[in-house]
Structure 1
């Protein structure tokens, strides 16, 4: 039987994980239905699944994340993907940003307000 000291030294530190994402990982292991997650928790679950090399979960979370990329989520997902070297998600964010639909939305936004258009031109020209 392990003493308290031995047990404590063998306890894993899980504080670095997102608790919501880790709870979903445990549900996955026990074959329970997974919760609907927001894109940030889903990204964290995807990262955990990658670290555990759970291919099925990696594939399903990637597919869900890809579907969640939109103008409201792309900046945060791109930042998280950049900071964690999640190349697959980063590539999808960049594909979204270069899509004709997104470019048309940006042009539409700029054409609604001349201040926005001028600000972008200043950035482009380096002023």
Structure 2
């Protein structure tokens, strides 16, 4: 099992794009491209477009092996990745935290008074149905 390393930064100018996996690589790319390149910080895989994703999967792909050191890690992987859906469901239900906004919080968060009135009516209907 491997984990794909994804770039942390994209540094580019009009001619060249460099994907960087560390701050040091980012600094070197900025020096190489010079004259105020555009720098993008990727927070996760979801921020990378499918077209870009294909650019760093290939012969230079960076993979980190997942090393199972003991039975605990293996059992955790089986628990979260295996076919024990009822067990996972119960774990989620037991550990789920639900936070509800009050009507006043919803209204104060809405700048448009018309939208706030509609939201107030919707919340009132939901409260009446659940009572």
Do Structure 1 and Structure 2 share a fold, with TM-score over 0.5? no
Higher RCO (CA < 8 A, seq sep 6+)? 2
What TM-score comes out, normalization by structure 2 length? 0.28
Q: Going by fraction, where is strand more abundant, 1 or 2?
A: 2
Q: Calculate the TM-score normalised by the size of structure 1.
A: 0.29
